[in-house]
Amino acid sequence: MTMLRSLSLMAVLAAFASTAAVAGPTCKAPKDTWMKESDFKAKLEGEGYKIKNFKVTKGECYEIYGFDKAGKKVEIYFDPATAAVLESK
């Protein structure tokens, strides 16, 4: 029983560690201060981004997948209130 319990604990810890590793930043701005999604997308497209996927993350940030004006593939997290880049991959 002890071996089974140890294996279960290791599996839970491994799952948590892998989830934490892919988690993006956390945004704390109140939702009433966020830019409207349509305005935010229009702003980025005006800067030359081509947005393939847009979402609000679990951490309450805006995230896009797409291409920058040079055609380079991007994944970027933004503060939804200020549009500041928080993380880019």
pTM for this model (two decimals): 0.73
* Cα gap 45→54, rounded to integer Å: 12
Neighbouring C-alpha atoms within 13 Å toward the C-beta of 73: 0
Which pLDDT belongs to residue 19? 43
User: What per-residue string of b and e applies to 49-82 under the rule 16 or more CB within 10 Å gives b?
Assistant: beeeeeeebeebbbbbebeeeeeeebebbbbbbe
- The answer to whether residue 12 sits within a structural domain is no
Q: How many CB atoms lie within 10 A of CB 34?
A: 19
How many domains in the chain? 1
Q: Is residue 11 part of a domain?
A: no
Q: What CATH number did the domain enclosing 74 receive?
A: 3.10.450
Domain that holds residue 61: 24-88
Q: Mean pLDDT over residues 12-23, rounded?
A: 50
- 82 in any annotated domain: yes
